[in-house]
Amino acid sequence: MSDASPIVYSRENGIVTITIDRPERKNALSIEAMNALTDAWERAEKDTQARVVILTSTDCGVFSAGLDLKQASEVRARDGVDILTLMRDPLQTAMRKVSKPIIAAMTGSLMAGGMLLAIKSDLRVGLRGTRAGITEVKMGRGSPWAVPLLWMLPQSLVMELVITGETMPIERLAEHGFVNYLEDTPDAVRARALQLARGIVEGAPLSVSAAKASVLAAMDLGCAEGLLEANRLHVQAYASEDAIEGPKAFSEKRKPVWQGK
């Protein structure tokens, strides 16, 4: 690994894997890593062969420790600016714009920016015995990106996370549904994420993208307007060749051959 390429992008059988590769820094998010992540999200969105994305990191006991605070201190001392000003997309808004489902394979503890990445993922697989938290208040930083947690966790638990800055066992978040699965080893976490990804690849591409977009739209718009937007988002799926192929394949007792159109 070198800081020139702290993010690794690969694709196989429609499954993109994006790996944070800074184990010596607990996979902390440096300027280079954050900008490379933004590039990776944009690449995944444009990749016509990509059907689903797995976000993971190199094993070191920590999925991501969040912002690289050492680098932040160095930048402030050297340039007199906040480190976020040197990142193209410091809140990783490009991640939420990816139409393909994103699965976080969290092979260690996560805090701060690590939680940001987990929140912006669509499915989450965690490692038993690890911890998670939004530690910004302990560092004089902020967590505006945590707002979507109000649709994922009870308000009292969200408040505890953001105002105490304490980490908590990943099992506690799993009890409230924030984590889809907990596994015993990092390899098992990745295996579960891969199993989920393969299941997504089996689905009709237009139906999968419309399903994800509908859920996110409902979070933004509320139930009534969300239903209207979901109907609009599914028009293309219902009118597609795949909508014909699915029932036909079922009646012929074979796997469908999706065209994505």
Higher pLDDT, 61 or 242: 61
Domain 7-201 fold is 2-enoyl-CoA Hydratase; Chain A, domain 1 (3.90.226)
What digits encode the pLDDT tens for the residues 108-135? 999 999 999 999 999 999 999 999 999 9
- Regarding beta strands 7-12 and 15-20, do their DSSP bridges make them parallel or antiparallel, or are they unpaired? antiparallel
Considering the chain, what percentage of its residues have pLDDT values greater than 70? Answer: 98
Tokens at residue 75, please?
Answer: 């930048």
pLDDT surpasses 60 at 11: yes
Q: What is the three-class DSSP state of 137?
A: helix
pLDDT recorded at residue 4: 57
Q: Is the pTM of this model over 0.85?
A: yes
Say whether pLDDT at 2 is over 70. Answer: no
pLDDT of residue 139: 83
CA distance 167 to 156: 15
> Is the pLDDT confidence value at 57 over 80?
yes
pLDDT beyond 70 at 34:
yes
Whether residue 122 contacts residue 99, with contact meaning beta carbons closer than 8 Å, is answered with no
Closest CA to 42 of 58, 21, 18, 19: 18
> Is 80 exceeded by the pLDDT of residue 3?
no
Q: Tens digits of per-residue pLDDT, 198-236? A: 999 999 999 999 999 999 999 888 888 888 888 888 888
* Long-range pairs of 18-21 with CB within 8 A, sequence gap ≥ 24: 18/44, 18/53, 18/54, 18/55, 18/56, 19/56, 19/57, 19/58, 20/55, 20/56, 20/57, 20/58, 20/63, 20/64, 21/57, 21/58
